[in-house]
């Protein structure tokens, strides 16, 4: 029974996120870059934010209630001093 409850809770938790957004960032090379970008994106109240410096990619999940446009993402990344190369959504 516990396994069933845990599985149901996990499904509810996962469904609370509308999508996962992955953003390619040109010029992001160090941990200070990652901190600046993280600070800008966290202001949007995104979840599960991960910065991959090796691949120059930032990914995060957005809650169902949060609609983040590509233009807003580009604006925030630009404000942090970087350029967006691409944005994908799943």
What residue segments make up the domains of the chain, in order of their start? 17-89
| 64-70 LR contacts (CB < 8 Å, sep 24+) | 64/15, 64/16, 64/17, 64/18, 66/18, 67/18, 68/21, 68/44
Phi, psi of 5 (to 5 degrees): -65, -40
Answer with the residue of higher pLDDT: 9 or 85.
85
In the three-class reduction of DSSP (H, G, I as helix; E, B as strand; rest coil), residue 12 is classed as helix
Task: Quote the CA–CA distance of 32 and 16 in Å, as a whole number.
Answer: 31
**Averaged over 55-70, what is the pLDDT?**
91
Looking at the predicted structure, is the pLDDT value of residue 63 above 70?
yes
CATH number for the domain formed by residue range(s) 17-89: 3.30.70.100
Tokens of 29: 């090379």
pLDDT tens column, 10-57: 444 444 657 999 999 999 999 999 999 999 999 988 999 999 999 999
At residue 45, the pLDDT reads 87
pLDDT score at 50: 97
């Amino acid at each position: 029974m516990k396994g069933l409850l845990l599985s149901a809770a996990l499904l509810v938790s996962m469904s609370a996120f509308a999508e996962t957004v992955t953003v390619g960032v040109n010029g992001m090379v160090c941990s200070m870059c990652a901190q600046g970008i993280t600070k800008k994106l966290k202001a949007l109240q995104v979840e599960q934010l991960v910065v991959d410096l090796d691949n120059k990619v930032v990914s995060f999940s957005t809650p169902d209630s949060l609609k983040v446009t590509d233009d807003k993402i580009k604006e925030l990344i630009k404000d942090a001093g970087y350029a967006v190369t691409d944005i994908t959504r799943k």
